[in-house]
Amino acid sequence: MRSPIVLFVVLMSLPSLAAAADTPISLSLNEAIRMAVEKNLDVRAELYNPAQLEADINRNRAIYDPLLTLQTSYSDSTVPSTATGSTSSSYGRTYQADASLAQLFWTGATATAGFNNNYNSTNSIGTLSNYWESTLGLTVTQPLLKNFGRENTDININVSRLSKFASLEHFNTVLLNTVTQVRTEYFKLYSLREQLQVASTSLELARKILSDTKAQVAAGVLPAMEITNAEFGVYSREKDLIDAERAVSDEVDVLRLLLQIKGKGDIVTVDQPRHDAYAVNENTSLKRAMDRPDIKELRRNLDIAELQTRIYNNKVQPDLSFAASASLVGLNHTYPRNLETLSSADNPAWSLGLTFTYPLGNNAAENDYRKSRLKTEQTAVQIRSLEENAANDVKSAIRGITSTYKQIAVAERGRAYAEERLKAYLRRKDVGLATNKDVLDVENDLVAAKNNQIAAVVNYDNAITHLWQVTGELLERQGIRVVEDDADKLYKNIR
């Protein structure tokens, strides 16, 4: 009996769960921004790039991991004699067991410690047979010109590290654009709801005019033609209301996708756009814009280009390497005696040497350097261009704030004039001095004036948001701060 009861309870709860999923959501602007930062798919996907570069950094650091090599082999050969009339043959058996440990140092030097063991067995006349030979040695190779020093050795590590910083700045740009979009779409939904309310009020007035007109026509006060004009007014406003409802629903879906809100419930905006005066300091805004994430990203790319240019400049130099090796040799018929001979240090061997290499002409290295210099200069020019464009964006955004703020006052006066004008035409209609068409035309002007006022307030808030975007200060104003650990946590959580 337990299973059917559980199933019944689940089935009975489904309607309530569906109703909960369709419940309207009251959403503040700060809540919307927080949801976008945490859940937006584009933002989440972008964070994987610095996390991947963290993997590159650690991969490239592996050059300092000691390299252990173990090798063993066995060979057995029998060779017939080439002497005339001889039927004998020579044989040889060899067993090899070697171990080595190599380590790279920041100077570019490589040190290799090796322990080699060979056992040889042969019947060749005039040679030692059945013996062990062991060698314990250390070899160090140090470049002195090309490839010398930490910067050359750590080139791939540093490039990955700087690339990660650039990727984090790009992530900041994506986040900045996303927060800008959230603010814009949030207040767009607000404006569409306000326009929907305006369309609903307009339809109510048109229906009242139609009702009054029918009564007046029935009383013989107005001609029947006025009913047609009033019905057309209702029809056109019904169409406007349907279009406004669709626009609201479409915008709710846009915001739901942007914030990753599941379900089909409506979204109700709680906050209103600001319409108070906003003081702007142009010099401060221009200074802020120079630290915008996209400019900082390009500066990181310039750091990479300059680093690579220095490395390519080093590659132009000759390759001069110093090599030193020292070893001890042991030899005996048995392996233990062989090790005793080795440990006695009676058979030392050492060597020192220099190797000089320089391609005549050296065209490859020189052209790699030239190309890297060109890339560096190109990136510097791109930074200058972006900085100048950013300055122009700031000036344009400030003008936009000034202009849209003035538009608010103009739109408010326009709405007040349109309301007074409609009242006047309604009074004229009551005394027969205006037709339904006249009143509906004037009411259309009022609808346009109301929508202009709504748009003016929203455009003003959007203009402020745009200024914060082009100066790069929007994230700071919203209390959003991206740290390197955000990507590192993502990297560490991968198993």
Top-confidence residue, 122 or 371: 371
Q: Does the structure show a pLDDT above 60 at 332?
A: yes
The alpha carbon of 261 is separated from its chain's Cα centroid by a whole number of angstroms, namely 22
List, as one string, the DSSP characters of 246-297.
HHHHHHHHHHHHHHT--SS--EEE------S-----HHHHHHHHTT-HHHHH
Top-confidence residue, 43 or 433: 43
Residues 79, 80, 81, CA angle at the centre, nearest 5°? Answer: 115
| Mean pLDDT calculated for residue range 198-212 | 94
Q: Say which range, 29-33, 152-156, 220-224, 347-351, has the weakest mean pLDDT.
A: 220-224
| Mean pLDDT calculated for residue range 158-181 | 96
For residue 172, the model assigns a pLDDT of 96
**Which of left, alpha, beta for 350 (phi over 0: left; psi -120 to 50: alpha)?**
beta
Domain ranges of the chain: 24-58+157-304+371-492, 68-104+109-146+319-357
Q: Does the structure show a pLDDT above 50 at 16?
A: no
| Mean pLDDT calculated for residue range 334-358 | 91
Model confidence at 84, in pLDDT bands (50, 70, 90)? low
Q: Express each pLDDT in 54-77 by its tens digit.
A: 999 999 999 999 999 999 999 988
| Mean pLDDT calculated for residue range 226-248 | 94
**Right CATH for 24-58+157-304+371-492 from 1.20.1600.10, 1.10.10.10, 1.20.1250.40, 3.90.1490.10:** 1.20.1600.10
| Mean pLDDT calculated for residue range 76-94 | 69
At 351, list the tokens.
Answer: 């060597």
Q: Express each pLDDT in 429-479 by its tens digit.
A: 888 888 889 999 999 999 999 999 999 999 999 999 999 999 999 999 999
**Residue 94 phi, psi (nearest 5):** -135, 135
Model confidence at 206, in pLDDT bands (50, 70, 90)? very high
Task: Please state, in angstroms and rounded to a whole number, the distance separating the CA atoms of residues 302 and 337.
Answer: 63
**Mean pLDDT computed over every residue of the chain:** 90
pTM over 0.95: no
Q: Express each pLDDT in 349-375 by its tens digit.
A: 999 999 999 988 889 999 999 999 999
Task: Please state, in angstroms and rounded to a whole number, the distance separating the CA atoms of residues 35 and 402.
Answer: 31
| Mean pLDDT calculated for residue range 277-298 | 95
